[in-house]
Structures are given as structure tokens and as C-alpha cells.
Homo-oligomer: A and B are copies of this chain.
Amino acid sequence: MKSIQVYQCFCDETRLRILNLLLVGPMCVCHFSEVLGVPQPKVSRHLKALREAGALESKRCYNWTICSLPEAPSALLEVNLKCLQDLRSEEPVFKKDLKKREALMGRLLNQAEELPGQMRCLIEGC
């Protein structure tokens, strides 16, 4: 039963936090690690799980791997991503993560001359 795969994605807090961040826009692996305060291998494994369930797409861009929500999500996924968005107000972690994301992005934009390629990928969608 294929839809179970989607539900399994949503059963883990770290994965929910990743999806919550992606609802705002693409991010790269190392930034998940930083924003969530979670070790990189852990992030990597969860990203793999999301990818295999069709809940995430990623592409290499210079030395970053930029992750985003799938362009054509399944109906089930789409509905639950919407739910996740609505859940933001109830879950302080989500809001906290978004704040950290914003701060990180601001910092990155300041150094943008030093990492032009990746930033272009991230901002303009490469």
C-alpha cells in the first residue's frame, strides 16, 4: 500500500521540521543541519527517506546539494503539506526553525560574493 510510505514520512519530528522549512523555499543539506541543530548524517538519512517516499527532490549545485519539495507532489502529499503549514501556529519548534532559517539566509546573502554559484542556485532556482 503505497500511501503508507507518505504517512511514514510524517511520523518523525525531524522530517516534519525539514518539510516545514522546505515549505518556505529550497535549502541545502548543510543548512538543515545548522538550522535544526542536528548532526549531518542524521539529516542525510532523513532526507533519503523523504526522497524515497517522493516527498523531496534534490540536485547538486556546485558543492551544495539543494533540496526542495517535489514539483509534482502526489495528492496525498500535497494535502498534508498544507496541513503542516496550518500546524505552524501550534508548534513552537516550527516557528523557531523558521526564525533560524531566516537568520541563516540573511547571513548567507551578506557573503554572497564569496559563494556566488550556490547562492544563485538557491535563490533563483538554478
Question: DSSP majority for the A interface?
Answer: helix
Q: Which of A5-13, A23-31, A35-43, A114-122 binds B?
A: A5-13
Kindly state whether residue A76 has any CB partner on chain B within 8 Å. Answer: yes
Contact A7–B7 (Cβ < 8 Å): yes
Contact of A11 among B8, B16, B83 (CB under 8 A): B8
State whether A13 and B7 are in contact (beta carbons under 8 Å apart), knowing that A75-B83, A76-B83 are contacts in the complex.
no
Could you show 17 A-B contacts with beta carbons less than 8 Å apart? A1-B13, A1-B91, A1-B93, A3-B10, A3-B83, A3-B87, A4-B11, A4-B13, A7-B7, A7-B8, A7-B11, A11-B11, A75-B83, A76-B83, A79-B79, A79-B80, A79-B83
